[in-house]
Structure 1
């Protein structure tokens, strides 16, 4: 099947612009197979695993068919867990970014139902929910499905494994007879086939198979970083691994240009490659990369098609790919012709879950590593200089340069005797080494995003500052309840809470930090609107709290 880009689909300019912002250029296999049929109004039975892009496979057609002028629920997406409901909701909100008046609401257990009832009164057209909570709202008559046009069952096999078959039957029996049903499942057991036979009308069956990783000679690593520290980490990895030829993958063309420009500013031989460049520009850049005239090529997935260079020493996933198969394609660019290669993936916050999916379905061992420190970088550079010095010593013919050193020694030590210090040839050699190290430096100053953030927090935790404390009658339970009810972070995973008179510090798992910061922003605790941010203050123990 030929590669399809989103511009080839019969979709609106608003959605096309949104998916471009999300970094999508080319459709994944399941998207190519499913979207056209769903757009035509056909029932679809899709077999696809997590990480194949199936959310957009049903989400794009769902948003396209919604009548923004109607206040009825038109799309119902049923999924097994609250985490998946939230994930689907977030992705659909990105897809509908430029569509006006489209409401999307996740409903699930574990969240106060009163809050959901209030949100339902705002008349969202798309509901994403778990079976139990959907049934609860149907019983309360707070969710009405008379205007429903489409039902989507995501991870249907997982819902059956969790015992939701009766709930699904109950829900599907309450929806209008004339509706489109789309069902996605990673496997096709007998129960799924029974379900589709009972509720779908002449469904189109589409299947996307996973390609497994077949490049064992590649060492694979991942690093947990912040967005702000990615460039610094990339620079340090290049410097400490003696990488001469590298591919850096980004999810968007804009990001490619930004990274290429930043690396050039730091003195690296780097160039960009993406679809907005003219063909002759792309050919010129590729030829330079093949011939080793540039060291680092920064590219999007689509632009990198056709890159066939045996000497690529490392691949960097500057952005985690949107599809697991892209990961396989990306890192397969190194470790060729019997050589070993390295792949480094930068993981920000909850992207760790994407990485877990990649590890699971590619059956590969991706090892955690810490970013190199500035000391690591300096030691590597100094070692390289000293290796060069040894080569030069072996070559000989140093008499002229030795004379220069003697002159410097004589001048440095030609004092009247009042100064008792004496400069040695060893010190002159050290001074020269220091000068060379400074000249060869490409890394920026110590980046707090890498080395200092969350100093004092427990390992794997992020320390957050909240501008309320004992004076506001705040207790630990208030902090826990507020975070647990506003985010997907279970209360039992919240770490140390230090409450002072006017402020509070709380530790949360690193993978939840971004969600907590976003969800709690401008939230209220005990009636007071709060400000929450990452803490740069180290944890103080054994001292009386102010």
Structure 2
């Protein structure tokens, strides 16, 4: 199968050929002809890195009339990094199409620049939900003539609390448009959007639904909590040619791990939401060009990472949701290549690993964190092979060699090798000298005497590191989790990653935030409103004490 068999116009085939695409991926082979030749909506389920952007971008470009100056195609995605990536890819595919204009619309950038791009006649808008809705409300983005709408990474947009924004955006588009939904997984919420806004969609599934790529090896290591960072370093050292992505759960952890690795002389850096857009672009640029070997990132920041040849994904901390693990692991083994996804856990997280294993449809293979001798051996052989394979420019280096030969003439071949190896290798020898086994056995003494039982899987922040809040609105007030998340983020200036479990009950609700932002949340939520209704927020423990006092008072009155 080639792109010539997909009924694409010559201008698109020219762009595809120039980009070096030889054969279409399975999702492209199935989706492109269906979109171009059909009239139905489409749901495309495929692992991250399988070419979904071209799967919807190529047919959208072919179907749009670029002689017209109004917006005809809209692509909605969860993060600004992904927005920039998709818009850049679509612009490359449009290279030989006359009059084609593409606008990237996302938060953190000049709204005036984006307004001008749209007003100049952008036929395609690639946008994050919040900024697009803002432009709709300001009467800048006018979607009443949109013919084609794409929801890309739909599962992640819902995880980030964007369902209400998406609902509002879709209500501003024509009923007769065609909608194409692309996702790596198909959780319940995504299925609900498909049912609500799509008409009899064609479903294309590449691989098993809600599962990761088959060419990824899933490995887990079990260590004590205090040895987690030590385990990370040993894993990185054991793979000298690693080109890896390390996932942390919070921005704070991401920054701390990156700073530790940099201090320990690793070629590493961090990517998270607290960094300015300029810094994030710089870090991503270094990672894409491989001048950065290890990137430590949060789930949200990593959504825009479309980088080939990542060898390892390391889960420094497991995510709460199985679909997030699928997205993480999908950063490696892209475009049909193989890769490794590693999970570092402590003994208390075994049940969480089993939960992810079951829900994500993957099989973890337990392995032991390498000991010092094995790491030194691996590093030494890697260095020697690198030396053997290095190309020597005899002409350029020749005039520098006579004094070198003279200086080294008294050394035997064995002495020369020993000294050369020691220069490059002493760091590992000294560091791992006398290193201990940090692995925790699969079955601890406590586990051996404990009856097997199912543990309830809880979604929340780490015990002892969170504060629980009471909110005086609930389901009877039509309170939505997404609205709570957005209000907390906008008023308190925190990230969704700082927010834990949210329980919406009939009369009231409860939510968790990290302890370090709790006081700020309490202060900033004073006199807050959600959807125009005033809310009251206080520490849940205070509410409990008030309730107890109230009950005691009632008992005294009865007496």
When the two structures are superposed, what TM-score results if normalisation uses the length of structure 2? 0.42
When the two structures are superposed, what TM-score results if normalisation uses the length of structure 1? 0.43
**Which structure's CA Rg is the greater one?**
1
